[in-house]
């Protein structure tokens, strides 16, 4: 890599550093992993700098690389946790933690909803809400089908909605609702246990 | 909950991600350094792999072709398979060096498969250990191993003759009073014998 390319890359990075850091935070939704993911993605970008320096949207390209790097890092450190499910325990502890401030509670519930999404889904939300891109533009930038982008967006909204229902500002009797959800879960569990027992009795 | 209610909440969180971003002046240097290290590791691993493969190929070539022993088989039947020859170890006297070995397929009714000949160029003072293993013999003697010295005019003198039995056996040949060609002939005389005969040659040296 020649010296002029190093300078070119450094200048580009300096110009977009804040934007990329923000994107890394959005994709990871984890302040500890974000710098690692960003550095790994930038290393890949720099390695291919000769080929991609004239890319029409280098930031979007880097975001795509970050999504893939985030998946790699999570796979390698076995940090994958169950996604797309409302964690009632998490909600209960958040409510306990933020007791007395409805505003903070609501924000933490929204964050929990966003954190439950995949990196690609969060990247779609970032581009939609932060960059103000249309679904078509996001699809173009992330090299995804428009249908997938729309689905990611819908999933993002529904995840947040699932968490935000527990917000005190929404007029919810939170403890009652949590107990209801827990009761439903328990009821389902008992029902499946009974089915298993019935099955054993018949056999 | 409608999208109109949800969108501001989500937007607020994504906007909050942009707060408190402190510029990292050495980020570009860190990335460039990381790529350099990655490249260096790649070249090192590539070079080590190429070197290892080349070494293995070179050793295989030298071991397979550059032999002090001139190995040859006179068997025209093509019944000797998997034979190799190795260079004599020059630094280790009185210690047997790398082996020559062969697997001879003996077939009933195919006379040529019953006679195999190995010719070596031996120096004076060298000694050969010949190992034989008859895989399918039922009992008794199945043939002979005859060792001849070949003169420059092509005439031969028999120096040693050993029976080939049903058990594993090793015969030593140390009558190398002359430097020259020696033939080791395996003749299967038992007409009922059919199967494989494994033979191995090891070379040593008298002080």
- Domain positions in chain B are 3-64, 72-205
Phi, psi for B105 (deg, rounded to 5): -90, 120
Q: Do B17 and A10 touch (CB under 8 A)?
A: no
Residues comprising chain A, all counted: 203
B8 touches chain A (CB under 8 A): no
Domain locations in chain A as residue ranges:
1-80, 83-172
pTM: 0.52
Task: Please judge whether B6 and A126 are an interchain contact, meaning their C-beta atoms are less than 8 angstroms apart.
Answer: no
Most confident of A113-127, B18-32, B105-119, B157-171: A113-127
ipTM over 0.95: no
Report the alpha-carbon distance of residue B4 to residue B76 in Å, rounded: 92
Nearest CA in chain B to A48: B35
Distance CA B2, CA A200 (A): 46
- What is the tens place of the pLDDT at every residue in A1-40? 677 888 999 999 989 998 899 899 888 887 778 888 999 9
Q: Residue B96: which pLDDT band, with cuts at 50, 70 and 90?
A: very low
Q: Say if B11 is an interface residue toward chain A (CB within 8 Å).
A: yes
Which residue in the set B21, B29, B38 is minimally distant from A43, CB to CB? B38
The shortest C-alpha distance from A45 to chain B (Å) reads 10
CA distance, residue B47 to nearest chain A CA (Å): 20
> Using CA atoms, how far apart are residues A160 and A153, in angstroms rounded to an integer?
11
Residue A16: its chain B contacts at CB < 8 A? none
Pick the CATH number of A1-80 from 3.80.10, 1.25.40, 1.10.1740, 3.30.70: 1.10.1740
Statement: B72-205 belongs to CATH 2.60.120.680: yes
Q: In Å, how far are A85, B39, B113 from B44, measured between CA atoms?
A: 46, 8, 52
Contact A123, A63 (CB under 8 A): yes
Measure the CA angle with vertex A62, ends A61 and A66; round to 5°. Answer: 120
pLDDT computed for residue B16 by the predictor? 82
Lowest mean pLDDT among B141-150, B181-190, B198-207: B198-207
User: Touching check for B48 and chain A: CB below 8 Å?
Assistant: no
pLDDT in tens, A97-126: 655 566 777 888 888 888 888 889 999 999
Strand order in the sheet with B141-150: B72-73, B115-122, B180-188, B141-150, B156-165
The matching CATH number, chosen from 3.40.50.2000, 1.10.10.10, 1.10.3720.10, 3.40.50.1970, for A83-172 is 1.10.10.10
Give the minimum alpha-carbon distance from B3 to chain A in angstroms, rounded to a whole number.
7
- Cβ–Cβ under 8 Å, residues B32 and A3: no
Quote the mean pLDDT of chain B: 77
């Amino acid at each position: 890599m020649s010296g002029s390319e190093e300078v070119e890359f450094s200048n580009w990075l300096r110009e977009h550093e804040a934007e990329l850091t923000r994107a890394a935070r959005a994709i990871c939704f984890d302040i500890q992993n974000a710098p690692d993911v960003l550095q790994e993605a930038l290393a890949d970008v720099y390695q291919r700098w000769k080929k991609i320096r004239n890319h029409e949207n280098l930031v979007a390209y880097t975001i795509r690389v970050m999504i893939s790097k985030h998946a790699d890092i999570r796979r390698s450190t076995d940090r994958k946790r169950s996604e797309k499910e409302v964690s009632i325990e998490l909600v209960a502890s958040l409510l306990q933690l933020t007791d007395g401030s409805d505003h903070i509670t609501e924000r933490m519930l929204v964050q929990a909803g966003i954190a439950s999404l995949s990196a690609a889904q969060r990247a779609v939300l970032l581009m939609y809400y932060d960059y103000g891109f249309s679904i078509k533009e996001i699809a173009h930038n992330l090299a995804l089908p428009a249908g997938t982008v729309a689905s990611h967006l819908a999933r993002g909204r529904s995840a947040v909605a699932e968490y935000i229902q527990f917000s005190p500002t929404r007029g919810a009797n939170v403890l009652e609702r949590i107990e209801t959800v827990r009761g439903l879960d328990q009821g389902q569990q008992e029902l499946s246990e009974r089915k298993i027992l019935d099955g054993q009795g018949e056999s | 909950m409608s999208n109109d209610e949800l969108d501001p909440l989500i937007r607020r969180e994504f906007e909050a991600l942009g707060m408190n971003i402190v510029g990292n002046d050495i980020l570009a240097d860190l990335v460039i350094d990381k790529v350099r290290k990655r490249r260096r590791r790649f070249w090192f691993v590539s070079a080590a792999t190429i070197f290892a493969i080349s070494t293995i190929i070179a050793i295989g070539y030298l071991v397979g072709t550059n032999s002090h022993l001139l190995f040859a088989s006179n068997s025209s039947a093509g019944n000797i398979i998997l034979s190799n020859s190795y260079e004599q170890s020059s630094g280790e006297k009185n210690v047997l060096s790398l082996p020559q070995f062969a697997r001879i397929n003996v077939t009933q009714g195919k006379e040529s498969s019953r006679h195999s000949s190995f010719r070596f160029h031996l120096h004076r003072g060298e000694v050969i250990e010949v190992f034989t293993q008859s895989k399918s013999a039922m009992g008794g003697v199945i043939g002979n191993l005859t060792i001849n010295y070949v003169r420059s005019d092509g005439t031969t003198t028999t120096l040693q003759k050993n029976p080939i039995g049903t058990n594993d056996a090793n015969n030593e040949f140390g009558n190398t009073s002359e430097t020259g060609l020696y033939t080791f002939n395996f003749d299967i005389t038992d007409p009922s014998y059919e199967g494989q005969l494994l033979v191995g040659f090891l070379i040593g040296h008298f002080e």
